[in-house]
Amino acid sequence: MLNLGVWSLTGIVVGVLVVALLVLMIIGCVLSKREIPGIPPGPSFLPLVGNVIDMSWKYRTRKYKYFEKMEKKYGSVYRLYFGRQLLIFLNDMDSVKEAFVIKRYLYRQTHGEVLGGSPAFLIEASHGEGPLTPINMLPQLLYLPGARGKFKKLIAGAELTKTYISKRIVEHKKTWNKDKPRDLIDCGLAAIADADSQEFNNRILMYIFFDMFIAGSDTIANSMDWAFLHMIVNTDTQIKCQKEIDEVVGSERRVVWADKPNMPYCTATLMECLRYSNVAMTSLPHTATKDTMIKGFVIPKGSIILAGINSIHHDENLWEKPEQFKPERFIDGDGKIIHNEKDQRLI
């Protein structure tokens, strides 16, 4: 008969579990610490969790500070690990162009592809944290017991929006005339009618509008907040904008798109608001669909690539005194907006 002595059965079970966990951690440590040679440099990371603790916890409300620190230490192209997922940050214009313009096989996962229609994209937008939330990187977390409770309100909002859009599509169908498109939904219906396959259908159309609602709400609301703030702080700019509005539009009508070429100062001010404020700190995640090289670094298939919009918009090599709010930087000697196709510093 086995003599347990001071060890209770529970003690043995706990002991076995602890040992198993330790073994797993050592295996995880060895496996996850094996880095692919040639990938961009980056900070040391913990087994299994990678740099999540620093990124999502220590710098929770000021992730940009963490990214700034990493860029300073490792250069404009660096790597982090989100769990075992490799993230590559591109923080200079050359590498962003190489990745997104020259090497076109970096593709964007849509929320539909990631989650089969569940609202990670909404969570991403509403948190205003950009794509680097645990739920966005590992959407399967939503299926953990209790996880959805936290996002119940968001999920309900998403469902409400989807129902609203679907209703509007059905309404449009009733009076749809191919030759007289009234709006974007009508154009979408025409595209469905023209489509050879079933791939483009009402459901896809609904998701396109859903994306537009979600992607266009938080971004625009935050951009407006920043624009008002800049007008309050920079009263000289506010006065110049008002003067241009008074001269071009007057007070009897609203501004229309056709006024844009005649309003270079207001246009430049809006561009400067976008550059300065960066409501989107990084791009959305793009996935490398095959092994590639960017700026001489190895980028393995499956890596997630993010463009550091904040870094590029405040890069001293691209902008003179980037920390100054100066709409004039977008206006040339003839008082026109600088539109240099080769020089797209504003993302």
Residue ranges in contact with ligand HEM by CB under 6 A: 108, 110, 211-212, 215-216, 219-220, 223, 279-280, 283-284, 309
Query: What angle, 0 to 180 degrees and rounded to 10, lies between the N-to-C axes of helices 264-277 and 235-248?
Result: 140
Q: Could you tell me the smallest distance in angstroms from the CB atom of residue 254 to ligand HEM?
A: 19
Phi, psi (deg, nearest 5) at residue 131: -80, -5
Task: For the CB of residue 118, give the shortest distance to ligand HEM in the complex, in Å.
Answer: 16
Q: 54 or 279, CB closer to ligand HEM?
A: 279
Nearest-approach distance from CB 310 to ligand HEM, in angstroms: 11
Please state, in angstroms and rounded to a whole number, the distance separating the CA atoms of residues 92 and 270. 23
**Interatomic CA distance for residues 218 and 133, integer angstroms:** 16
Torsion of CA 184, 189, 194, 199, to 10 degrees: 100
Least distance to ligand HEM from the beta carbon of 211, Å? 4
Tell me the torsion sign for CA atoms 41, 44, 47, 49.
negative
Q: How far is the CB of 313 from ligand HEM (least distance, A)?
A: 11
CB closer to ligand HEM out of 54 and 188: 188
Pairwise CA distance, residues 103 & 109, whole Å: 16
Contact yes or no for 65/28 (Cβ under 8 A):
no
Complex with ligand HEM: residue 216 or 302, whichever CB lies closer: 216
Toward ligand HEM, which CB reaches closer, 73 or 108?
A: 108
Beta carbon nearer to ligand HEM, 279 or 304:
279
